[in-house]
Amino acid sequence: METKLRYVAPPVSPERALRVFTEPERNPGIPLDLDLVRALRINRSAVERRAATIPTRRTVKKEWQAAWLLRAITCMDLTTLQGDDTPTNVLRLCAKAKSPVRPDLLDALGASDIGITVGAVCVYHAFVPIAVAALQGSAIPVAAVSTGFPAGLNPLPQRIEEIKASVAAGAQEIDVVITRAHALAGAWEALYDEVRAFRQACGGAHMKVILGSGDLATLVNVARASQVAMMAGADFIKTSTGKEPVNATLPVGVVMTRQIRDYHERTGYAVGFKPAGGIRKAKQALDWLILMKEELGDRWLRANLFRLGASALLTDIERQLEHFVTGRYSAAHRHPMV
C-alpha cells in the first residue's frame, strides 16, 4: 500500500507564539496535498444559514460602533481601479489615505492622537511610482493589482514580469489573479504551480491571491482554491477583483475563513483574508468584522491579517461617525474621497 505523507507543522514555542500574534510569520507555503484538497466538501445550506445569522445575531451600537468603524478604516485597502484613473486622482486618494477622517470628527471622538490611517492604497501598476512618492514617510504600503487584472488571462511569463515590475517600482503588496479555469477544471497542480511562481516573483512583497469567487461556480471550488493558494504561499486570500457580477458575499467569507482556520491549525501559519467588491456601507463593514471575530478571533481584526477592499465605503463610515458625534446625517459631499 502506498503511504501518503501529510505536512505536520513543527512545535511552536511560547516566545514565537507571542511574537507572531503581533506580527505573524510569513506563510512560506507547503507541499501540495491533493488528498486534502480533493476531500474537501461544503454543506451549502449550513454555510448559508451561518452567514444569515451574522447581520442579525449581533449588533454594535453607540461608542462601540464608532470604535469598530475606526478599526474598519485601519483595515481598509483604499482602492481606485477605474479606466479613467489619473495621476491627480491617485494623489488625492493618497492624501485621503493619510487622513481618512475629518480632524474635527477625530477630536470629538477622542481619537486624534492615535494615528488613524488606512491599511494600504491599491492602484494599477502604472500609478505605483506616484502612490509610493505620495505616501513616503507615512508607513502606508502601496498595493498593486497584477497578473493581467482582472481576467488573469495574459501569458504566464508576462504576468510574472508584471509582478516584478510593480515590486521594482516600490509596491509592497501585490494582488494577483488566479486562472479560474484551473479551479473550474480541478487542475489543482497547475493552480499550485501558478501561485507558487507568483509568490517567487513577489520576493519580499506580500501576496494577496484573488480567487474570483463569483466565477468559481461552487463553494467547494472556493474552498479548494483557498487551500491550494495557501499551500502555494499566499499571504492573504481575497474574494474578488470587484469586477465580477458577484463579488464578496458572507457565505463565501464563511468558507474562506474556515479554510484559513484549518490551514493555521495544521501548519501554524496565519494567512490573512480580504473581502473585496460591493462593500459600500458601514453596516457591511461591521458584518465582515463580526465574521472575522467569530470565525478567526481578535488576532484577525488587524490590518496585518484583515483587509477590506473598498472605495466608496470610507464615505459612508465617515457619515456614520459624524452621526454619532452630532446626531445628524450629513451629505456625502462633506466627506469627499478625491
- Helix or strand holding residue 97 (H, E): helix 87-98
Q: Which residue has the cell 497542480?
A: 189
3-state secondary structure of 205: coil
Which residue among 77, 215, 235, 274 is the active-site one? 274
Q: Is 175 a catalytic residue?
A: yes
Which residue among 175, 235, 287, 316 is the active-site one? 175
Q: Is 165 exposed, middle or buried (0-12, 13-18, 19+ CB in 10 A)?
A: middle
Cα four-point dihedral sign 319, 322, 326, 330: negative
Q: Is 274 a catalytic residue?
A: yes
Distance of alpha carbon 93 from alpha carbon 88, whole angstroms? 9
Distance of alpha carbon 90 from alpha carbon 84, whole angstroms? 11
Distance of alpha carbon 8 from alpha carbon 67, whole angstroms? 39
Distance of alpha carbon 311 from alpha carbon 96, whole angstroms? 11
Cα four-point dihedral sign 141, 169, 165, 121: positive
Distance of alpha carbon 29 from alpha carbon 152, whole angstroms? 22
Which residue among 33, 215, 235, 238 is the active-site one? 238
Sheet strands (E) in the chain: 76-79, 120-123, 142-145, 173-177, 206-210, 236-238, 272-274, 308-310
Distance of alpha carbon 110 from alpha carbon 9, whole angstroms? 43
Tell me the three cell numbers of residue 315.
464615505
Q: Is 4 a catalytic residue?
A: no
Distance of alpha carbon 174 from alpha carbon 159, whole angstroms? 12
DSSP annotation of 272: E
Could you give the residue numbers annotated as active site?
A: 175, 238, 274
